Structure formats: C-alpha cells, structure tokens
Structure 1
Amino acid sequence: MYKHVLISTDGSEVAQKGVDQGLALAKTLGARVTLITVTEPFPMYASAAGGWIPAEMGTYDETQKEYADRVLGAVRQAAQTAGVSVETLHVPNAQPAETIIETAKSRGCDLIVMASHGRRGLGRLLLGSQTSEVLSHSSVPVLVVR
C-alpha cells in the first residue's frame, strides 16, 4: 500500500502522537520513513526594518538547528529501535506547510503523516494550522492524527 511515509514533527507533545502513529504504520507496512522538521525564518518586525536587530537574531539559526537535531535524533532512535528505516531532514528558514508538501513530492512519498492540535475558531485563525494547509494543498494523501 504505502511504501514511503513522510512524517512531520515540530517536536511538540502533540506532534509526537503523529510520529508514534506514523512509525507504527510504517513498521506494519514495511515502509521507509522520511522524518521532517521545518523551522521558520526569524520573525522580522517593523522595528527590525528600521535598523534595530534583536540580539536573538544572531543565534536564531544555530538555536533552531540544535533544537531540530535533538528532535530528529530522538525520533531516529525510536525508529531504529522499532526496526523502521528512517531518513531525517531539517529544512531551515522555510514555510512548514509548503515545505512538507514539496518534500513529499520531490522524495516520492506516498503518504504524509502529521498531527493536529485540533484548534477551532479564533485560536485556529490566530495561530494558523500547518496541518490544514497541507490538507488543503497536498496531492499526496495525508493522515492526520489527533
């Protein structure tokens, strides 16, 4: 059925549910896994355009890479323990939904697995939903875990 599963994580507790289900499914199917985490660009505010650069900007990329390495390393270990073939991928300075969709296409994944916080109404509007974006625009099937 599915031979190559793309699992997305941001390292959150909610995302871990998607990771766990994705790894279990991949093991059952004998599928290989590409695990992706995407870190967004440093948030630039109007004041930054006026010449003020926050101190955090200088270490942002390094901090995001360290965090992604920890997240991906933990899942890599879990996948290896479960006997699932996994490749990890960190894509920095990108928009998560677009990157997840493009990665699934470019790597020949036939299923995307990701979790959803299940926010509705104003919370979803204010916080956005990467899962909703992927569902809306992906030509690859998406399994959403809650």
Structure 2
Amino acid sequence: MFNKILVAVDGSSTAMKALEHAVKLQKLTDAEMLLLCVYKHHSLFEASLSIDRPPGMDIPDKMLSDFAREVVDHAKEHAGSLGATKVRGFVKGGRPSRAIIDFANDKEIDLIVLGTHGTNSDRDGLLMGSVSHRVASNAKCPVLIV
C-alpha cells in the first residue's frame, strides 16, 4: 500500500497530531517514514543584515536551519516513542508547500501527511491553512490532512 510516507513537521501541535497518525499507518504498512521541516529561505540581501554582526551571530538561514533540525529531531524522537521504525529526518529551505511537493516527487513518496494548520495559522480563518491547501491541490500522491 505505502512504501514511503512523508510527514511535514513544523513544531506545531497539528503537525504532531499528523505525525501520530502517520506512525499508525507506518505500523500497518511497514513503510519508511520521512520527516521534513521546511524553513523560509532568506535572500542574500536579508542575510547580509547590512551591519556588523557580533561574533557567533549566525545569518538567518543558518539559525532557521538549525531550529528546523531541532524540530525534526524532536519529531523523530516522538515518532520513536510511539513505536515508529525506519524514520529519517530532512530539512529544506524554501516556500513550504513547494518544498514539500518537490521533496515528495524527488523521493517517490506514496503518501504525504500534514496538519491542517502550521505555526503561522489563523485558526479562526480558513478551514485549512495555505500550505496544506496548496500541498493537497498540487501533490501527485495522496495527501492526508490531520
């Protein structure tokens, strides 16, 4: 049924709920689970900060990438605590919906699992967040939105 399940994680509670559902599916199918956290890439202009930086201050992309790695590591730990096996984590920079879809295509993903809203949601607004809506509308594989 499913050989590769992609779970988009961003540290939000809905992403963790999606991860929990993905673990249940993995247990049924013995699929490989790939966790992906996407951070918004900053331009070279934004990254330059156009001022002297104190020693040890990283450019925005580096800080965001490091934080995204922490999000993936936490999600990987949580998946393991729920009994998941064959879990790998990835971090990508870019527009989240496009990065998720491109990653899914590159890795020949059979199912994408993500939360209805992420960390930038307006829960009183749309029924689905813009990222989940775009992924569901444009992915070549099935999408489970939790």
Assess same fold via TM > 0.5. Answer: yes
- The CA distance in 1 between the partners of 2:105 and 2:23, in whole Å, is 20
* Residue identity opposite 1:79 in structure 2: A
C-alpha distance 120-66 of structure 1, shift in aligned 2 (>3 A): closer
Runs of 4+ with deviation above 6 angstroms: 54-57
Per the alignment, residue 129 of structure 1 pairs with: 130
**SS at 1:77 equivalent:** helix
Structure 2 counterpart of 1:18, one-letter code: A
Given the two structures, how large is their TM-score scaled by the length of structure 2? Answer: 0.79
- In terms of fraction of residues, the more helix-rich structure is 1
% identical aligned pairs: 27
Q: Give the equivalent residue in structure 2 for 1:63.
A: 63
**Mapped contact 2:20–2:79 kept (Cα < 8 A):** no
Q: Measured at CA, do residues 144 and 54 of structure 1 come closer, stay the same or move farther in structure 2, by a change above 3 Å? A: farther
Query: Which residue does the alignment assign to 1:75?
Result: 75
How many pairs were matched up?
136
Which consecutive residues of structure 2, in runs of 5 or more, have no partner in the other structure?
none
Can you list the C-alpha shifts for 1:39-79, whole angstroms capped at 9, x where unaligned? 0123899xx7xx97488995312221221121111122233
Gaps of 5+ in 1: none
Give distance in 1, aligned partners of 2:23 and 2:106: 21
1:98 corresponds to: 98
The match for 2:26 is 26
User: Structure 2 counterpart of 1:34, which letter?
Assistant: L
Do the aligned residues in 2 keep the contact of 1:110 with 1:140 (CA within 8 Å)?
A: yes
User: CA contact under 8 A between 1:3 and 1:31: conserved in structure 2?
Assistant: yes
- Going from structure 1 to structure 2, the CA distance change for 1:20 and 1:29 (only over 3 Å counts) comes to same
**Structure 1, residues 63-115: CA drift from partner, whole Å, max 9, x if none?**
212211211111222333414211111002x1111111111111111000001
Instruction: Indicate conservation of the 8 Å contact 1:97/1:130, yes or no.
Output: yes
CA contact (8 A) 2:37 2:92 kept: yes
Q: Distance in 1 between matches of 2:43 and 2:68?
A: 18
Contact 2:3/2:31 (<8 A) preserved: yes
With normalisation by structure 1, the TM-score equals: 0.79
Do the aligned residues in 1 keep the contact of 2:26 with 2:84 (CA within 8 Å)?
A: no
CA contact (8 A) 2:115 2:132 kept: yes
